Homo-oligomer: A and B are copies of this chain.
């Protein structure tokens, strides 16, 4: 049966495994659409417009906000980031879910938008802060100052855990991934995400009448 696509929001401090989980989820179900954010920051070497981000000027970004084309947007470390609304609405109508890898500011805005009732939000927690820092240090040759900035942002991010529908503690990646797919499968079974059920029950009633 056809269903209405949902908006799956994944948030976590960086280093908690969110990006790995998001990537595995897209492989697990290729019909899921990843919401590519628009940003005003400059592309880094190897980044492609439309893949990692849509890279736009400050003016173009502000225009999109003004005309209501942004589902959410926020400023982080002096740059703007936002999620374009059009592709999300198209995916929903096609019965495709959209995955958002965004922070608590974006999560709050989407939950409070007109699409709020289609949101399923999941917060990923690290097993410990020592583990979080070790993952941050292992994946890049960042300076201590940069690491300290990331850790401060992580603490701020974690402080918003209680705004999310579900919480997964990522102690073991396979277990966390299984929990993520379980949540998505269950949410797809919610009555209000299965619009064809009304027609199906009508057909059952017709069958009662013609017995």
Contact = CB atoms under 8 A, between A and B. Distances in A.
Interface of A: 1, 123, 125-126, 128-130, 133, 151, 155, 158, 161-162, 164-169, 179, 182-183, 185-187, 189-191, 194, 197-198, 200-201, 204-205, 207-208, 211
B166 A186 contact: yes
22 contacts: A1-B169, A125-B200, A128-B204, A128-B207, A129-B207, A129-B208, A130-B207, A151-B211, A158-B204, A161-B191, A161-B201, A162-B198, A166-B190, A167-B191, A167-B194, A167-B197, A168-B189, A179-B185, A179-B189, A182-B182, A183-B186, A186-B186
A189 B201 contact: no
Given A168-B189, A185-B182, A211-B151, A201 B129 contact: no
A21 to B, nearest CB: 14
Contact of A201 (B130, B158, B182, B211): B158
Contacts of A151: 208, 211
A82 B125 CA distance: 41
Nearest to A210: B129
A157 to B, nearest CB: 11
A169 B188 CA distance: 13
Contacts of A200: 125, 169
A129 B169 contact: no
A109 B181 CA distance: 32
